[in-house]
Structure 1
């Protein structure tokens, strides 16, 4: 087969196989299409297809094809992270700062602590830390991977649950947005390159001024031209961050954070996100799957993944429950918010891909974290839907007991009704 034919065959597998499996499942609650795409990437990787048919795997996923796929995946994921940055609404978070900082802080720090402890236990055994990683970097990276919430996928799931524009959904977005800032700040800390410290300091000192100039220029542009200029800005910020040693994803996120969503057509941004998920993000999922390894043995990997899952899910639910007690939330709200914030998939996979690139973690740790992310994301929608039904039922019982007492439109909206 020619190189073009091999590449088109890979695209056929990427686009066709996950969609067929997803349609056969028949229920998006069981496995969102994003999760199925990542899972198929794992199946096509060296750990499954490569082990079962190494010659076929080597023929299809040859170095030339991998290089082409990685180029597409790089730009696709930069665009996706840029969109995640634009989604941040720091003004709303500041307006409700007590609620936002308390809930977001506990939702992040509790799973971070438990995930770091789980990572420390895993790293006690050989083969789980990367060749260039220090123990503190690996522990902090694993802990943050357990604490992360994937903001773009959270938006999609809440839209499907019909709570995205409700006050409850907007609160969850605030919490996830603040946690997103912490994720990239921690990543920048982990990736500090002491030999290139001068470059990194130069980037951090110059970026605010360049961002200010870009904001001023963006506001002078016609709305139709802002998106085109943003692509130039995204490439520039990614290049500068990578040159400084902070990784191009940090630059992509910052390129989005400094822009206001209101400057763009909101529907156009939503369509761009949907088209990315439809057309090029599956390539990133495949490239992620191709990096999974089972060298540590299936049982040990599954055990590590289950430990990390317990730390991630348990830590998030515990932290949000504590926040609910401190802030006086209604019964059941903490459970719904805790499960919604379990969404990991994309952002966590991007995060651990970077850690693997920099050899902070090993391939085995990457695989265990990937399995944890898939399981956590699969649990999100069914558990959140169940909690929303309980909120609705509790609201109905309260209304029957006292039709007028304590009933306000605001409370109905907070329940996602």
Structure 2
């Protein structure tokens, strides 16, 4: 007897959660590939460009249109929640307090890889199959360049927790730099997505958002914390709908929904738990959905060459930018390298960014695949490169934070379980 849609959906969910967990747990990949990275890689392997190409009957049966539509709905809400949390956690006040140091560092950490990535994108334009059907040349160059400059703040937090430096002075500095860059990234994305035929609607949304935000903030300040969580979800849906209706993207609305909320309105432990639970329960569906969008139509070797070029532009641009910042701000030797590699973390936010570019047909599936491979590669490099550097230079971690216990120092030397 044939399976119904519900049964096939549950079969897909079983694959989504089982395969990455087995690879991550029994392969002991955590040092170089955290679970979220393994989930992204498994999404690629389960998609049409890998296993689906070898066993097309499997792909057409499990990931039929009805199942994909259901999974897409879960993925949309999951990633909106995740982006909203990232927006809430941005600490603009701290960035302003240290505005000279933060401005110089964040500007160079974003600007140099953006330029390098833009040069790589311009080179890709010399070949067919990379630029989307609705993209102007400048949109493609800016979009790919910004993808090379992105730092994934939520994954950065997870990796710094693993390295035991999140609550140390260097960790808090890195969060400031990444927070400013996150705002710039979404601002550039809004500019790329600006539709001159719908500019009136988009301007109306932004004006209306500003007005409604004033009342929303007053309401949230007056509510008890338990009510704030519920109202925040309503606010998320409203902002996502408004941004998508205006022609920006529902992800832009999700980020705006979070960034206008104060982290102090919520218990930090509960916020950390919510982020962890979203990553555990629903984000794997987004990773799988991302994998289903990969494509090797211009040729597998061409996609890998493009990914390698983008990875080189991203890594070298970030490290050069931070080296310049270190010289200007007179950092200790080696400090710029540690910060540069940590800010190199890309998975999730870059993938969300690339998904938006693909949705708006600014890039093709092949460019999306190259960007996805670049994001996975750069994120996998982070801990193996940074951990030994921290072990050799652990005095940087505690330099401005007061006395550190021997136990804390010992913890900082280990990458965690």
Specify the TM-score bucket, using the shorter chain as the normaliser: over 0.9
Residue pairs, 1:69-218, within 5 angstroms:
69-218=71-220
8 Å CA contact 1:293, 1:367 repeated in 2: yes
Q: Please tell me the root mean square deviation across aligned C-alpha atoms, in Å.
A: 1.8
- Deviation of the 1:194 alpha carbon: 1.3
How far residue 395 of structure 1 moved from its aligned partner, in angstroms, is 9.3
**Aligned-residue offset at 1:411:** 8.5
Distance in 2 (alpha carbons) for counterparts of 1:176 and 1:369: 20
Task: Check the 8 A contact 2:40/2:288 in 1, yes or no.
Answer: yes
Q: Tell me if the contact between 1:82 and 1:255 (Cα under 8 Å) persists in the aligned partners.
A: yes
Deviation at 1:77, TM superposition (A): 0.2
Deviation of 1:26 after TM superposition, in Å, equals 1.2
- Per-residue displacement from partner, 1:76-115 (whole Å, max 9, x unpaired)? 0000000000010000000000110000000000000000
Contact (CA 8 Å) 1:332, 1:390: kept in 2 or not? no
Contact 1:40 1:286 in 2 (8 A): yes
In the alignment, which residue of structure 1 is the partner of 2:246?
Answer: 244
For the Cα contact (< 8 Å) 1:84–1:152, is it kept in 2? yes
TM-score normalised by length of structure 1: 0.95
Query: How far off is 1:409 after superposition?
Result: 5.1
Q: Deviations over 1:231-283 (max 9, x none)?
A: 00010011111111111111100110001001101111110100011010000
Which residue number in structure 2 is paired with residue 303 of structure 1?
A: 305
Distance 1:98 1:387 in 2: 26
Choose from 40, 48, 52 the match for 2:50. 48
SS of 1:310's equivalent in the other structure is helix
CA distance in 1, matches of 2:389, 2:264: 32
Match of 1:220 among 195, 219, 222: 222
Give the unaligned 5+ runs of structure 1: 397-406
Q: 1:409 to 1:112 in 2, by over 3 A?
A: closer
Aligned residues: 407
Is the 1:238–1:252 Cα contact (8 Å) retained in structure 2? yes
**1:30 positional shift:** 2.1
1:358 to 357, 360, 365: 360
SS in 2 for 1:131: coil
**1:345 match: secondary structure:** coil
Query: For residues 144-202 of structure 1, what are the alpha-carbon distances to aligned partners after superposition, in whole Å with 9 as ceiling and x for unaligned?
Result: 00000000111111111111111100000000000000110011011111111111111
Whole-angstrom distance in 2 between the partners of 1:248 and 1:392: 42
Quick one: which of 328, 336, 339 aligns to 1:337? Answer: 339
Q: Secondary structure at the match of 1:127?
A: coil
Please state if 1:264 is matched with 2:266: yes
Report what 1:37 is aligned to.
39
Shift of 1:412: 6.4
- Superposed displacement of residue 24, structure 1: 2.2
Residues 224 and 294 of structure 1: CA distance in aligned 2, closer, same or farther (over 3 Å): same
TM-score with structure 2 setting the length: 0.95
Distance of 1:408 and 1:53 partners within structure 2? 56
Mapped to 2, the partners of 1:165 and 1:409 lie a distance apart of 10
Alpha-carbon distance change, 394 to 151 in structure 1, aligned in 2, over 3 angstroms:
closer
Moved more, 48-57 or 172-181: 48-57
